[in-house]
Amino acid sequence: MKCPFCSHADTQVVETRMAEDGDFIRRRRQCAHCEKRFTTYERPDVTFPAVVKKDGRRIEYERAKLLGSFHLALRKRPVSTEQVDGAVERIEEKLLNLGVREIPSSRIGELVMRELKKLDKVAYVRFASVYRSFEDVDDFKSVVDEIRR
């Protein structure tokens, strides 16, 4: 690891700690040349499948977009951040376990709807109305009837 101050290649790990949530490792390092200390973080490098949009474009998977969809659907609903994080983690786990290089955005939308249905029925209907492009009240009625069953 190069020193960010003097670019010397010889650095030593002084201290290693696991993050509280276990998602990364924090290392304090010291340069053997200038003796300044700095921190590095190690995270697992996982590759999510590329997302294929309806128009055929391929984009990188972004967790922030997935979280944004949840937050929009769950706006002013009694669902905790931990519950949302858990839902997103379950979706990401499914995406990784599929073992595919590309996934249609519609498949991700279905996974989101499945998780929202478990979390909050109102948020599920909100998301479904946009995702399925509801045209009239009958579309809403069919989703509400589906939930009641």
pLDDT in tens, 112-131: 999 999 999 999 888 888 87
List CB contacts of 126: < 8 A, sequence separation 6 or more.
72, 73
pTM of the model: 0.65
Contact 27, 40 (CB under 8 A): yes
Pairwise CA distance, residues 130 & 37, whole Å: 50
* 134-148 per-position pLDDT tens digit: 777 777 788 777 777
pLDDT at position 59 over 90: yes
What was the pLDDT predicted at 30?
97
What SS3 state is found at 35? coil
Handedness of CA 75, 23, 102, 57 (dihedral sign): positive
* 70-97 per-position pLDDT tens digit: 999 999 999 999 999 999 999 999 999 9
Pairwise CA distance, residues 130 & 143, whole Å: 12
Burial of 138: CB neighbours in 10 Å, binned 0-12, 13-18, 19+:
exposed
Pairwise CA distance, residues 35 & 33, whole Å: 6
